[in-house]
Structure 1
């Protein structure tokens, strides 16, 4: 798919994960079948996932991604993945890679969710939450700084690596956040007159 794409066997992935996260070494590991072309994804047990970039990535880039992931999870009104840690490049796999929590659910498909209100309300609630959030506050206060600091602690192993994603009752969340969405009344626009 990509020129110079990195190959990864299940055995190599298991060895890398066990080396970086010994506490996950005995948990079941399974490759996630996906049409994606950016990462090879493995599930560790039922609650964790590991992403191996197919074209290689630096540790610094994945730490920045983990910071952003933490910031997003703090303000997201529905369950969102949280960073667990970063694996470094090695002779077995010449790219950094990342571990995060797994959020159970279905991949949205236009033919499956077309008549459902729940995804629409979830997206509306997410947009309302993001619009109400200060983005990238890193002056020592606010969501950005706190989440980024927490992500760096987690990645360095100074705090518990795993937190369960919070359970969300989608119907309740939709009703609660519906009030946050401004009601827009369509304006009547007079038809344009053509000039003679």
Structure 2
């Protein structure tokens, strides 16, 4: 997927585990087929997994998870990743890595959600879980690695470059209009809130048809809650989208929803041409978000 991606296979993972966690050396190691873009994932026995950054830019996300998940997990009513051990770089593999608890289920792209209304309730509660944290416990948005919580304008240059590559892939004029409206919307002026920022189907855990967990906190940030309104289009259908909006109406205003539309198109437009030939999962997610936006009447 990335020109600067490192090569990771089972033999590398086995050597890392044996060298740094010898008590786990005999556990079976099997690569997990994932549509993720930042980390390779390997099952380690029945109850654990190994997550290894695929490239240098992905390291900061894993470091954030290691640092902040212990503080965030108690806030969230859903299952979230739990780091059990952290590994260090070696001559064989150049980045830090982690052993995490394996969460049983499938992602929301490959497993159907039985009730999208129920999913809207669950997602709304996830937002209020994060947003209700004491502001004194929320780091400032300019903290290291917390870029996504900022106003959308920080990625305007990247969006403009990517949209040029989307001719024939999306309705460029309509998508650009959504982006421009989002940039023009009033900024978030409330206190910074914890935001996941990447609530797309591959990061939502489904079990027995129900949304039970949220994965991949590598993009976690603080700042504008609009970043966590994006599943309205990435995940929900029109009726459940309206339900989601009603549930959160006391927490965010109309401008936040306009900015959220911009967050969706920016994620989608940047991902679509980049992963077009390498990651069908991300292409599907991008198309899903854009199609939902362009067909929405609200």
Q: 1:121 to 1:97 in 2, by over 3 A?
A: same
CA RMSD of aligned residues (A): 3.1
- Farther off after superposition, 62-71 or 31-40: 62-71
CA 1:57–1:46 in structure 2 vs 1: closer, same or farther (change >3 Å)? farther
**In the TM superposition, what is the alpha-carbon distance from 1:59 to its structure 2 partner?**
7.4
Equivalence for 1:159: none
**2 CA distance for matches of 1:48 and 1:59?**
20
SS in 1 for 2:107: coil
Asked if 1:85 corresponds to 2:85, the answer is yes
SS of residue in 2 equivalent to 1:43: strand
Contact kept, 8 Å, 1:51 with 1:99, in 2: the verdict is yes
Pairing of 1:16-55 with structure 2 (within 5 A): 16-55=16-55
CA change 1:31–1:138 in 2 (3 A) is same
Change (3 A) 1:13 1:62: same
| Aligned: 1:133 with 2:133 | yes
Bigger helix share:
2
Look at both structures and tell me which one has the larger radius of gyration over its CA atoms.
1
Distance 1:48 1:111, change over 3 A: closer
Cα deviation, 1:38-76, whole Å, max 9, x if unaligned, reads 111011122211111111369776443212222221111
| Contact 1:42 1:49 (C-alpha < 8 Å) held by counterparts | yes
TM superposition score normalised by structure 1: 0.63
* Residue 60 of structure 2 corresponds to residue 65 of structure 1: no
What residue ranges of structure 2 are gaps of 5+ in the alignment? 140-209, 212-246, 251-298
Query: Structure 1 CA distance, aligned partners of 2:59 and 2:34?
Result: 24
1:118 is displaced (CA, Å) by 3.2
TM-score (norm. length: structure 2): 0.43
Could you list the runs of 5+ residues in structure 1 that have no partner in the other structure? Answer: 140-169, 172-180, 185-196
Runs of 4+ residues over 3 Å off in structure 1: 57-64, 114-118, 181-184
